Amino acid sequence: MNLLRIAALASTLCLVACGGVGDHPAKTVAAAPAPATSSAKQQAAVFIPPPESAIPNDEFGKQIELGRKIFTETAKYAPGYVGNQLNCENCHLDAGRLAGSGPLWGAYSMYPAYRAKNHHVNTFTERLQGCFMYSMNGKAPPADSAEMVALETYAYWMSQGEPVGKELSGRGYPKLAKPMQAPDFARGEQVFKRDCALCHGSDGQGQMAAGKMVFPPLWGPQSFNWGAGMHEVDKAASFIKANMPLGRGNTLTEQDAWDAAYFMDAHERPQDPRYAGNVVQTRAKFHDTPQSLYGVEVNGQVLGQGSAAH
């Protein structure tokens, strides 16, 4: 078995057990009642993407398959654009298929769209390029590169049959309500030791097998950089609650998810590539939100100061 797919397999098995994956055409079905913390606009319908067995055996299918490989083994198939040990599917589980885990099909039909992150309308291409810059701590593939064409083809194929511009249930990560208690480093450390360290390592640096990363690093030089969305505590908490521990999503309490997210994001990681000369200016320009710990002092350390310039 390809060791890089072990984590994805656990998610897939869980999804199959729930009836989420199978050999059926893409369709939308009635959604089960959503948790009370989910956004009402995400409760209308659940989209089921086509199974991998439906990838056509032709030139178009070859591009779909290449896109899938780039998504699941990013450093292997897009080495020129990746600067860490992550794969796209580390944050978008089951090869970008899993509802509630930022699925590709939930994003493709919603672009072009305005993004406050860069204050202009983004195409889907630009959105993918940003993932390489921030989450992969690399550089943006050109729009006409083989890697970008394959990824967009994979996303297009997966999204066939869904309505354009309609926010389907399962898009993104289910948003959590504000926590009863402010997220806390010490409590988060206990959650990490109990529920996260087995896979991600006691030092948060992930797990290697046969020279390949099989569980991703959560902080440090091989993780996502300070520009990635996952560095914001609310986004990380939403992902953790819905998807972690792997194969046992929605088993942590919401408070545990918030605390674990705070603990993870209160560690150093690669510098934001938009670095504006110093941490104070960079925070003021790009991180002016209570959800970002960039430039905030935690346990006597100002986060971001220990990050090497990108």
Asked whether residue 220 is assigned to any structural domain, the reply reads yes
Maximum Cα–Cα distance for the chain, whole Å? 58
DSSP 23: S
Tens of pLDDT, residue by residue over 69-79, are: 999 999 999 99
3-state secondary structure of 1: coil
Contact between 120 and 114 under an 8 Å Cβ cutoff? The reply is yes
| pLDDT over 60 at 4, yes or no | no
Q: Are 45 and 30 in contact (CB under 8 A)?
A: yes
Residue 166 lies in a domain: no
Is residue 308, in this structure, part of any structural domain at all? no
The pLDDT value given to residue 46: 79
Rounded distance between C-alpha atoms, residue 91 and residue 173, angstroms: 10
Among the listed residues 173, 177, 193, 183, the one whose alpha carbon sits nearest the alpha carbon of residue 102: 173
Question: Looking at the structure, do residues 144 and 283 belong to the same domain, yes or no?
Answer: no
Determine the average pLDDT of the residues in 4-17: 36
Question: Mean pLDDT, to the nearest integer, of 83-112?
Answer: 97
Range of the domain at 43: 3-158
Residue 27 sits in the same domain as residue 121: yes
Q: How far is CA 163 from CA 36, 78, 97, 107, 257, in A?
A: 25, 30, 17, 12, 32
**If we measure between CA atoms, which residue out of 124, 103, 110, 102 comes closest to residue 165?**
110
What does the pLDDT average to over 275-292?
Answer: 97
Euclidean distance between the first and final Cα of the chain, in Å?
35
Last residue of a domain, one of 140, 158, 176: 158
Residue type, 153: T
One domain for residues 114 and 231: no
One domain for residues 153 and 256? no
In 3D space, the residue among 209, 198, 213 whose CA is nearest the CA of residue 90 turns out to be 213
Bridge partners of 27, per DSSP, are 48
CATH code of the domain covering residue 43 = 1.10.760.10
Question: What's the confidence (pLDDT) of residue 44?
Answer: 53
Residue 88 lies in a domain: yes
Bigger pLDDT: 240 or 212?
240
Residue for token digits 């970002």? 292
Report yes or no on 238 lying in a domain: yes
Residue 174, domain member (yes or no):
no
If asked whether residues 140 and 237 sit together in one domain, one would say no
Which pLDDT tens digit goes with each residue over 159-218?
Answer: 999 999 999 999 999 999 999 999 999 999 999 999 999 999 999 999 999 988 999 999
* Residue, of 155 and 40, whose pLDDT is higher: 155
Q: How far apart are CA 27 and CA 121, in angstroms?
A: 29
Same domain, 136 and 67: yes
Q: Compute the distance between CA of residue 140 and CA of residue 272 in angstroms, rounded to an integer.
A: 14
Q: Give the model's pLDDT for residue 13.
A: 31
Alpha-carbon distance 145 to 293, whole Å?
A: 34
Tally the domains of the chain: 2
- For residue 215, what are the β-bridge partners? 207
- If asked whether residues 74 and 152 sit together in one domain, one would say yes
Instruction: Judge whether residue 128 has pLDDT over 90.
Output: yes
Q: How confident is the model at residue 310 (pLDDT cuts 50, 70, 90)?
A: low
Do 62 and 152 belong to one domain? Answer: yes
> Does residue 103 register a pLDDT over 60?
yes
The two tokens of residue 279 are 């941490």
Structure tokens at 178: 């504000």
Decide if 171 is inside a domain. Answer: no
- Residues 134 and 88 occupy one common structural domain: yes
Same domain, 123 and 231: no
Decide if 175 is inside a domain.
no
Over the chain, what is the mean pLDDT? 89
Cα–Cα distance measured from residue 16 to residue 40, given in angstroms and rounded to the nearest whole number: 26
User: Are both 42 and 146 inside the same structural domain?
Assistant: yes
297 with 197, same domain: the answer is yes
Question: Using one digit for the tens of pLDDT, what is the confidence trace for 20-66?
Answer: 333 334 444 333 334 444 444 444 567 999 999 999 999 999 999 99
